[in-house]
Amino acid sequence: MTPEREAVLQIPKRDENFSEWYTAVALRAELADYSPVRGFMAIRPYGYALWEGIQAYLDRRFKDTGHVSAYFPLLVPESLLQKEAEHVQGFAPQVAWVTHGGAEKLSERLAVRPTSEAIILPMYAKWLLLLQWNSVVRWERATRLFLRTAEFLWHEGHTAHRTAEDADAECRLILGIYRDLLEDILAIPVLSGVKPKSERFAGADNTYTLEALMPDGQAIQAGTSHFLGQNFAKAFDVKFLDSDNQEKYIWSTSWAVSSRLIGCLIMAHGDDRGLVLPPQIAPYHVVIVPILGKDEAKVLAAARDLAKTLSAKFRVKLDDRDAYTPGWKFNEWELRGVPVRLEVGPRDVAARQVILVRRVGGAKHPVPLDSVVDTLGKMLDQTQKEMFAQAKTYLDDHTTPADTVDAIVRALADVKGFVRVRWCESQACEDTIRERTGASPRVIPLDEKVSGNCVVCGKPAKAWVYYARAY
């Protein structure tokens, strides 16, 4: 068996063992690795490049809408964390505590931030639209690379507003930016809406959410935007002087997406050969692999000229390592999900052409040198559209309506994915579905009007809700 075939075979079949396949791709594609600290991961350069792409897109969108970046302390005094009772109760099992500074015991425990509301709210001096890029720690018992680790990267936005309407509009604005990231950049279609009360962020009046569906039929929360009302403002006594010369509590929001999105990318598009990356987020649009043969100098010169030309418009990697065969390189870059491979050998140099191979599909396309830039651009656009369309078809095909609890059970067993049901909004009916199905209510769509009766109790329905088993 050749080394390149052996490398691919080290990845389990996706449909046979999805969990092992996922971990193998994350490791073999060099996105992340396990660290010496239990529950924590190290993000490798290729994985971090994906995070930098997400960060660059979002940061531009945030700045375009008036938000500014700041940074707040890593440690939160216990007295501050406890001020908002529902909030601290929601995070208490996951908080890591600092009790000593050197050999000296601290007079008050300091929490390693699980989120930053408790440290940011007391420092509001005026209405703010701010965000910070950082990491947070939540002490998880069971961890998986990117999806659930004790520390993860994210940004967290925190804004203060004069009215509830302004704060709610902010939440919807951010949800739209997140949706654009998921669908236009990561090629992952989502359902959008609000969480039922049982699934809201601790301390929030309302949580807006984006829910994606993975190929194993499980949902994943891909982004959230929280309307905090005046709960935190009252807990931390954050007021402003309104135009009527009266002091009033602010209305606040918080919102975030995290490095969990890299896990979503792996699952949503990967195949038995490894990672498949949408061109909009791929660290490299194209990898150039020279096939040297007898005219080594000419081929290398042609490959380097191509890299220089293409780099003016695309993200390019020239793989001119001489320790590996072209076949080994083909398999490595397929495993790492690069959207297009460009091959150039002696015959191609003589014919003034190159060979382009898409990661999606894999067919080889001879392309004249003078049309490489145009053809490559069209291939990348086509790949982005096809990847989203394929994922959208999967989402649509695995979203099932159900009129009885038994139908929900059957849909989750036979089709998997989302099940759309009518609901009266009572906790008792939600609990019945949870107990019978093992699924949770993922999202209440914003603009879908409901008629008919609750799937559980038969009373008039107040909302549609999508159930699914979830990460």
Q: Kindly report the average pLDDT of the chain as a whole number.
A: 94
* Helix-helix angle 164-180:45-64, to 10 degrees: 140
Query: CA–CA separation, 297 vs 303, rounded Å?
Result: 10
Residue showing tokens 């791709």: 25
Query: CA–CA separation, 441 vs 424, rounded Å?
Result: 13
Query: CA–CA separation, 74 vs 82, rounded Å?
Result: 16
209 pLDDT more than 60 = yes
Say if CB 186 and CB 278 are below 8 A apart: yes
Say if CB 403 and CB 431 are below 8 A apart: no
Query: CA–CA separation, 244 vs 318, rounded Å?
Result: 64
CB count within 10 Å of CB 409 equals 17
Tens of pLDDT, residue by residue over 259-318, are 999 999 999 999 999 999 999 999 999 999 999 988 899 999 999 999 999 999 999 999
Radius of gyration for the chain, computed over Cα atoms and rounded to the nearest angstrom: 25
Give percent of the chain with pLDDT exceeding 70. 96
pTM of the model: 0.94
426 pLDDT more than 50 = yes
Closest Cα to residue 332, out of 344, 345, 321? 321
DSSP string, 57-90: HHHHHHHHTT-EE----SEEEHHHHTTSHHHHHH
Three-class secondary structure of residue 105 per DSSP? strand
pLDDT grade, residue 7 (50/70/90)? Answer: very low
Q: Read off the tokens for 133.
A: 């890029």
Identity of the residue numbered 445? P
- Phi and psi dihedrals of 81, rounded to 5? -60, -30
Mean pLDDT of 44-52: 98
347 pLDDT more than 80 = yes
Tens of pLDDT, residue by residue over 220-257, are 999 999 999 999 999 889 898 899 999 999 999 999 99
36 pLDDT more than 90 = yes
pLDDT grade, residue 5 (50/70/90)? Answer: very low
- H/E stretch holding 333: helix 326-335
Query: CA–CA separation, 282 vs 359, rounded Å?
Result: 12
* Predicted pLDDT of residue 227: 98
Instruction: Name all domains of the chain by residue range, CATH numbers in brackets.
Output: 18-269 (3.30.930.10), 286-381 (3.40.50.800), 398-468 (3.30.110.30)
* Predicted pLDDT of residue 127: 55
Tens of pLDDT, residue by residue over 180-203, are 999 999 999 999 999 999 999 988
Strand order of the sheet with strand 418-423? 68-69, 129-137, 151-161, 251-258, 219-229, 206-213, 191-194, 440-445, 463-468, 418-423, 399-401
Pairing of strands 340-344, 353-358: antiparallel
Q: Read off the tokens for 364.
A: 């080889």
92 pLDDT more than 90 = no
Residue showing tokens 């209510």: 441
Per-residue exposure over 212-247, b if at least 16 CB sit within 10 Å of its own CB, e if not: bbbbbbbbbbbbbbbbbbbbbbebbebebeeeeeee
- H/E stretch holding 317: strand 316-318
Say if CB 25 and CB 270 are below 8 A apart: yes
Say if CB 402 and CB 411 are below 8 A apart: yes
